[in-house]
Amino acid sequence: MSISLKHLLRSSLQHRLSSSYTRLTRLPSSPLTNTTRSLTTTPPTKMRLPYIPNPPPTSSEAEQAIVDRITARRAPRPLQPLDLTLLHSPPVADGWNSFLGAIRTKTLLPADERELAISRVAVCNGAWYEWHHHAPLAVQAGVSEGEDGLGVVKRQEPLLIEEGDQKKGGLNERQWVAVCLADEMTRNVKVRDETFEKVRGLFSEREVVELTAIIACYNCVSRFLVALDVGEMNGTGPDDAAH
């Protein structure tokens, strides 16, 4: 083979390789190319889905109305990572917003008891995004940040209602019972008769329904948060800084 022919073949091969590389880097988005780019250009995000852009794009007046309702409930805060995850499915986001709105703003249960119960659900499920949103609200409602207040809620071991004299710290009787009910519902689903008797003796029928609904609701929330790692808080803890 002549030198000129070898040179021609070498040049042709180099050109094809260069063209193939160029086409590869310009391929349309796909799960494979997105994965490759994330590994080679930017650190991968921990959240298991991309967040919807903010402001969220909509395809109809009905979807825009959903975004408006969620935005109104969040005001004056911006849309949260949870909202920007749920809005992948606007009807689900709308129903979620309505349910959570009723739980958060239309129940009669005192704020301290509500937020303590939610915070205990967060601890039992390791939902630290939920914890960092609701533990401060418990403090705002008068719960101590110390070991005799939130310190009780942060304990990893099960909290049994009959151990109140030793473990409830500075929590009052209703607060302690709310926390124990949250613990038992979250860990076991079923509630022991002795626990429910204590709940029934301290709370009205409406309050029993509201407290039970709050605990059930935030079990739903926490399981969604942890499964998708919304807010990128999995693997942290109650004393780690929120981000």
The token pair at 142 is 């008068």
Residue-wise pLDDT for 110-142, tens only, equals 999 999 999 999 999 999 999 999 999 999 999
Per-residue confidence (pLDDT) for residue 97, from 0 to 100: 98
Please report the DSSP string for 141-202 in residue order.
TT--SSTTTHHHHT-SS---GGGHHHH-TT--HHHHHHHHHHHHHHHHSS--HHHHHHHHHH
CA atoms within a 13 Å half-sphere pointing along the CA-CB vector of 90: 15
- Average pLDDT of span 179-194: 98
Per-residue confidence (pLDDT) for residue 242, from 0 to 100: 62
pTM: 0.79
Full set of structural domains in the chain with CATH: 61-105 (no CATH), 111-228 (1.20.1290.10)
Q: Which residue has the tokens 């979807």?
A: 63
Per-residue confidence (pLDDT) for residue 18, from 0 to 100: 42
- Peptide bond before 55: cis, by omega within 30 degrees of 0? yes
b/e 193-209 (16+ beta carbons within 10 angstroms → b)? eebeebbeebbeeebbe
Residue-wise pLDDT for 136-184, tens only, equals 999 999 999 999 999 999 999 999 999 988 899 999 999 999 999 999 9
Per-residue confidence (pLDDT) for residue 65, from 0 to 100: 98
Q: Which residue has the tokens 């988005």?
A: 29
CA dist list (Å): 196 to 98, 169, 191: 28, 21, 7
